């Protein structure tokens, strides 16, 4: 009876360790590809309407003091442009 080696194919019909690992790597790649659209969707920004954006501050809160603000007029989570004196419900203080 032949023994299966970790590094050499034995020539028999039973899958060896190498084939098992290759199938596992292929399955993981397929999973990563399948998961990518969800990741990309998670990276989409909210519209101004969804975020309740307004072009003026709310009380003492404004984009300029928000951790999501990217000067001069962008936001990490709301579609731009946004004004430094704007505000949305996604405001997060620095
Ligand atoms: S207040 Fe809203 S729109 Fe302004 S930077 Fe923060 S998250 Fe973006």
pTM score of the predicted model: 0.60
Whether ligand 1 lies within 6 angstroms of the CB of 88 is answered as: yes
* β-pair partners for 58: 61
Q: Are residues 50 and 84 in the same domain?
A: yes
Q: Are residues 78 and 52 in the same domain?
A: yes
Distance, in Å, from the CA atom of 43 to the CA atom of 75, rounded to the nearest integer, reads: 13
Whole-number pLDDT of residue 19 = 81
Q: How far is CA 18 from CA 2, 42, 47, in A?
A: 16, 36, 49
CB contact at 8 A, 21 and 10: no
Is 5 within the bounds of a domain? no
Indicate the Cα dihedral angle 45, 50, 51, 55, nearest 10°.
Answer: 110
Q: Among 78, 79, 80, 94, say which to mutate for ligand 1: greatest number of ligand atoms within 8 Å of CB.
A: 78
Q: How does pLDDT run across 18-76, given as a tens digit for each residue? A: 887 777 766 665 655 565 555 555 569 999 999 999 999 999 999 999 999 999 999 99
Is 60 within the bounds of a domain? yes
Task: For residue 25, give its domain range.
Answer: 10-44
Q: Among 45, 51, 56, 80, say which to mutate for ligand 1: greatest number of ligand atoms within 8 Å of CB.
A: 51
Distance, in Å, from the CA atom of 70 to the CA atom of 5, rounded to the nearest integer, reads: 56
Higher pLDDT: 92 or 21? It is: 92
């Amino acid at each position: 009876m032949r023994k299966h080696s970790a590094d050499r194919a034995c020539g028999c019909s039973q899958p060896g360790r190498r084939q098992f690992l290759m199938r596992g790597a292929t399955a993981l790649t397929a999973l990563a590809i399948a998961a990518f659209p969800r990741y990309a969707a998670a990276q989409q920004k909210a519209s101004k309407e969804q975020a309740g954006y307004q072009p003026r501050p709310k009380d003492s809160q404004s984009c300029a003091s928000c951790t999501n603000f990217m000067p001069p007029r962008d936001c990490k989570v709301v579609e731009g442009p946004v004004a430094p004196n704007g505000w949305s419900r996604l405001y997060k203080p620095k």
